[in-house]
Structure formats: structure tokens, C-alpha cells
Amino acid sequence: MNDEQTSNNNNNTNDNVNNDNVTNTEAGSELEFIQIIGQIEGHGILSSQTKTTKYEEIIPRLMNVEYNPEIKGVLIILNTIGGDVEAGLAIAEMIRSLSKPTVSLVIGGGHSIGVPLATSSNYSFISPTATMIIHPIRMNGLIIGVPQTFQYFNKMQERISEFIVRTSKIKKETLTELMLKTDELLNDMGTILIGKQAVKYGLIDSVGGIKEALSKLKELIEDSTP
């Protein structure tokens, strides 16, 4: 009897942990809270020791946001090191295409493909100590040293840059300059932006926290209500 109760309790605990990985809409709430944390997992499965956000879990939730008339707006919390480019860009495009108000908040870091995820919302915030790393596209594994490979890299980078420029106030020339800097990252190219620096360059709209983000989301919902 005790063993059965313990097993049931463990199952309940596991269910709670799994549900917390992507925060859902509470009963009767008008807001959907989605957090994108750790590394964005795409078509490959990452190590069980790696904190991940799975795009096959995020995309159905975004579809539900668009379909569910009770949900009026979305707050996206970001603390990611980046990850799978295709998956991250797919999530960003989904967020951008929502007809309902969206606000993003970078709280720890929004690096690499986390940059277009941060700019994909209608309005974006970054906390004062949060950072964003802008760098050229990278690829792991076997790379064939032929011109077609570099053309593919350029096309992929252009897709990401075009999205960031389209969904933020940063100029393409400025983005490229930040991406190709060689004096900030050790053994790498790119730029680290901290808090208000991201706002200064037009990448993020405002410096703020959860209070400001929720207030802005409610404002956008009110403005969009007929």
C-alpha cells in the first residue's frame, strides 16, 4: 500500500516537473507564458545532461495560442545559449506570424539563434544584466571544403540577418559589423551586448523586467481589442 502511494506521488511529481518546462496558460487566464531556455533542440536529440527547449513542443503550443479564443496574448521568457538554427528560426517565424500580441523578455542570455527569437515578438525587453551574443553562423560535424558549402553558409546567414533586421530596429550594416568583430570573443568572431547596449543598437526595444513586460503585454492586448 505504501509502495503504491509512493509510486503515485512520484508520478505526480514528474508530471509537475514536465509541465513546468514550458509554462502553460492557467485556467481562465488570458495570457500564455512560454519559456525558451537552455539549448534549442532541433532534429537531433541532445544529451540528457543538457537543458533543452524542444521545438516540437513549442510549435504546437503556438498553434494553440492562435486557435484558442480565450488566449489574448503571449509572454516569451528567454534564457538560451542558442542551438539548432532551423528549429530556432521556425519558432521565431511562428511567433512573428501570430495574430495576437506578443512580448519577449531576455532575462539571462539570448545568444546566437536566441537573437531572432527575442526580436520575433511585437515588443521586446532585456533585463539590465542580460547578454546577447551576435556571431556568424556555425556548423558542427563534417564540412566539405567546396564553394557550395560556403554559399550555403551565406544563404543561411542571410536568412537569419534578414529576419533580425525585419523584426527589430537595427540596420543591416550595423548587424554585420557587430557579427564580424574580432576583438571581443576569444578565438571567435562576434559581439557581446549587455542590457542597454542591445537597446542602443536597436536590437531590443527596452530595458526592463517581468513587471514592465507584463504591463506592455496588457497594453498591447487593450490596443488590439475592438
What CATH number was assigned to the domain covering residues 31-39+49-224? 3.90.226.10
Annotation marks residue 111 as catalytic? no
Q: Please identify which of the residues 104, 112, 120, 161 carries the catalytic annotation.
A: 112
Annotation marks residue 48 as catalytic? no
> Which residues neighbour 125 within 8 Å (Cβ) at sequence distance 6 or greater?
103, 104, 105, 106, 204, 205, 206, 207, 208, 209, 212, 213, 216
Q: What is the pLDDT of residue 121?
A: 98
Q: Are 180 and 136 a contacting pair, CB within 8 Å?
A: yes
Q: Are 61 and 95 a contacting pair, CB within 8 Å?
A: no
Burial of residue 73, with CB atoms counted within 10 A of its CB: 0-12 exposed, 13-18 middle, 19 or more buried: buried
Inter-axis angle of helices 55-67 and 85-97, nearest 10: 10
**To which residue does cell 562576434 refer?**
190
Domain extents for the chain? 31-39+49-224
User: In degrees rounded to 5, what are phi and psi of residue 67?
Assistant: -85, -35
Q: What is the pLDDT of residue 6?
A: 43
Q: Kindly give the parts of the chain with pLDDT less than 70.
A: 1-28, 141, 186
Q: Considering the entire predicted model, what is its pTM?
A: 0.83
Q: What is the pLDDT of residue 96?
A: 97
Q: Please identify which of the residues 104, 121, 124, 135 carries the catalytic annotation.
A: 135
Question: CA 197 → CA 38, 82, 126, 128, 202, distances in Å?
Answer: 23, 19, 10, 9, 9
Report how far residue 66's alpha carbon sits from residue 93's, in angstroms, rounded to the nearest whole number: 13
29-43 pLDDT per residue, tens: 899 999 999 999 988
Sign of the CA dihedral with 123 first, then 129, 135, and 141 last: negative
